């Protein structure tokens, strides 16, 4: 009986875990997503990993739009991510003066592939 309860608790615990699918391979990105990857490399990669988990200077961007919430607790949607990129948050500096609207759209397209 104890073993059955243990297995049931373990199964229920695992069933609640959400695994995040891997990012789209770089060779499968479209032109906009590739431009976004270039923007990411120029402005974001110094602080954030994109294709592996774990923090660098800031949180990893892996699966950012595949989760319900950002590390800050805000909803993981285009509006919140855009606001954070443009205006900064906590230790992240604002990037609004470094990116034009096309760069931002391309970057968001790339982040959606992670």
> How is 45-67 classified by DSSP, letter by letter?
TTT--SSS-S-SSS---TTTTTS
Pull the structure tokens for residue 68: 């319900």
Q: Which letter does DSSP use for residue 34 in this model?
A: H
pLDDT of residue 88: 94
Reported confidence tier of residue 20, pLDDT bands at 50, 70, 90: confident
Average pLDDT value for residue range 21-33: 97
Over 80: is that where the pLDDT of 12 sits? no
Pull the structure tokens for residue 57: 């200077």
pTM score, whole prediction:
0.81
pLDDT of residue 18: 63
The structural domains of the chain, ordered by start, are 21-111 (1.10.760.10)
| Tens of pLDDT, residues 35-74 | 999 999 999 999 999 999 999 999 999 999 999 998 889 9
Q: Give residues with Cβ within 8 angstroms of 45, minimum separation 6.
A: none
Q: Tell me the backbone φ, ψ of residue 75, rounded to 5 degrees.
A: -60, 140
95 in Cβ contact with 46 (< 8 Å): no
Residue with tokens 């110094």: 46
- Of 16, 110, 57, nearest in space to 71 by CA: 57
Average pLDDT value for residue range 4-15: 43
């Amino acid at each position: 009986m104890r073993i059955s309860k243990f297995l049931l608790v373990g199964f229920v615990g695992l069933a609640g875990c959400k695994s995040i699918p891997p990012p789209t391979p770089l060779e499968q990105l479209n032109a906009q997503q590739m431009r976004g990857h270039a923007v990411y490399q120029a402005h974001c990669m110094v602080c954030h990993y994109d294709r592996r988990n774990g923090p660098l200077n800031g949180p990893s961007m892996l699966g950012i739009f595949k989760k319900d919430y950002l590390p800050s607790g805000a909803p993981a949607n285009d509006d919140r991510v855009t606001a954070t990129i443009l205006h900064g948050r906590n230790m992240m500096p604002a990037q609004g003066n470094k990116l034009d609207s096309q760069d931002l759209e391309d970057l968001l397209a790339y982040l959606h592939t992670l």
